[in-house]
Amino acid sequence: MMNSHSLSRRGLLKGAAAFAATAAGSSTGIAQEHAADTGPRTSTVEARERRMQWWHEARFGMFIHFGLYSVLGQHEWAMEEEGIPVAEYQLLAKQFNPKPHAARAWAKLAKAAGMKYMVMTTKHHEGFCLFNTKLTDYCAPKQAAGRDLVAEYVEAAEAEGLRHGFYYSLMDWHHPDGARCKTDEEARRRFVDYIHGQVRELCSNYGKVAVMWYDVNWPLTAEGWESEKMNKMVRELQPDILINNRSGIPEDFTTPEQHIQASAAPWEACMTMNDSWGFNRGDDNWKSPKTVVRNLLQCTRDQGNYLLNIGPKADGSIPEQSVDILTKVGRWMDGHSELIHKADKCQARHSELAQFTRQGNTLYIHTHFWPGETLAVGGLQQKVLSAKMYPGRTPVKFAQEDFRVRFMGLPASAPDPLVTTLAVECDGEPTQDMNAIRVNRKRESV
């Protein structure tokens, strides 16, 4: 799966995709998300469905990348990509001391944005632990912070009624055995005991954990990590937990990264708001609030989740651009959240102006590029019974012909600066057939 020359960031990610593809018997990494649902290795499909019900409804979560890299403010891969010596990098632990309870503002913002759960980095590739661990001194309570930052995060999430999950990187650039475990069996034994021990601590000391979100499994294979054993332990300690696929074996959900791609198995697209997970002061490539809403709608349409990241600064404060984006997304969610959380799978997908979601027989047309007074949708196979426009559910006039429905008398400019929603009630489950248009539309001879 992953070998020593796939050390680069891209290589590692490709490796993860290739793993999933191999698991599904395909030869290309790209096939990952189309892979058949093999079910979780350490649970059953039925049990997974039961455990995941809240997660499907939740739909939208906050990812938080926080660690020593937040002090540098140059992306969470700086330690490796800038070749920083371990002895130099670890001095950051003497500086990293976020304001007490900084996580409360994260949780408040997540809630205001309409998110239902959070996933925080308890240990990223740099190896520094934000939680209290007996297994190393390289952790927040024993360094400058002097306290358990994971405990603060858990308390903050709970106070807002959000579920808390833990990101945990298997790859470790700091631990002495983190690389040699690949070739030295004694080192592997020590390191795997260390990793399993920390996962045990995380699953024992922080109440009910919603998600175990592993990351990069370089340099070992799933066998080397003893992932099956590890995940069985996780489920014993946390019977309702959801486990992602990055320990090298398929579990509860897949994790398309920085792109949205549906799969047969439950999936969660994780994405940054700019181009960095960890705080990166120079990264100004922010997504617009509209893009965020569009992404969320696309995930909703195909029944996936959207895990959107913030990278707090070293003091724990959230970059103002992220606050601004999520606040605007939250305002949109205030009027539309039920359409996100209660959505059914939606087959309709063809429009360059809008995205579709569905609830029962109602098709929701979410227009991000407002066309003006008339909005048309092609290929709808059902009869339209009524149409209403959000937020006031004002009735909209419509005309339906063989191959299109036109909604008319709409305002000239977009009523909602992000996305304007029309609720279209149909006489059956709404579906779109574009082929019918292409083949059957009458062609005139010239």
- Residues forming beta bridges with residue 365, ordered by sequence position: 356, 422
Interacting residues toward ligand GLC by CB under 6 A:
9, 65, 76-77, 215-216, 257, 270, 277
Closer by beta carbon to ligand GLC, 287 or else 290? 287
Q: Specify the residue, 221 or 381, whose C-beta has the smaller distance to ligand GLC.
A: 221
Output the smallest distance, CB 76 to ligand GLC, in A: 5
What angle separates helix 289-301 from helix 320-341, to the nearest 10 degrees? 30
Question: Could you give the CA distance from residue 386 to residue 376 in angstroms, rounded to a whole number?
Answer: 15
Main-chain dihedrals φ then ψ at residue 326, nearest 5 degrees: -70, -30
- 432, two tokens: 């779109």
Q: Cα separations (Å) of 350 from 161, 265, 353, 383, 437?
A: 37, 24, 9, 18, 12
Kindly tell me the burial class for residue 239, based on how many C-beta atoms sit within 10 Å of its own C-beta (0-12, 13-18, 19 or more).
exposed
Residue 308: helix, strand or coil by DSSP? strand
Taken in order 260, 262, 263, 267, the sign of the CA dihedral is: positive
Whole-angstrom Cα distance, residue 69 to residue 315?
A: 12
Q: Minimum distance from CB of 32 to ligand GLC (Å)?
A: 14
First to last CA, the chain: 58
Minimum distance from CB of 241 to ligand GLC (Å)? 18
* CB closer to ligand GLC, 7 vs 47: 7
**Least distance to ligand GLC, CB of residue 244, Å:** 9
Pick between residue 65 and residue 368 the one whose CB is nearest to ligand GLC: 65
CB nearer ligand GLC, residue 16 or residue 363: 16
The C-alpha atoms of residue 164 and residue 111 are separated, in whole angstroms, by 13
Q: To the nearest whole angstrom, how small is the minimum distance from the Cβ of residue 277 to ligand GLC?
A: 5
For ligand GLC, the closer of residues 72 and 270 by Cβ is: 270
CB of 254 to ligand GLC, least distance (A): 12
Of the two residues 13 and 376, which places its CB atom closer to ligand GLC in the complex? 13
Task: Tokens for 88, please give them.
Answer: 């130099």
CB of 414 to ligand GLC, least distance (A): 33
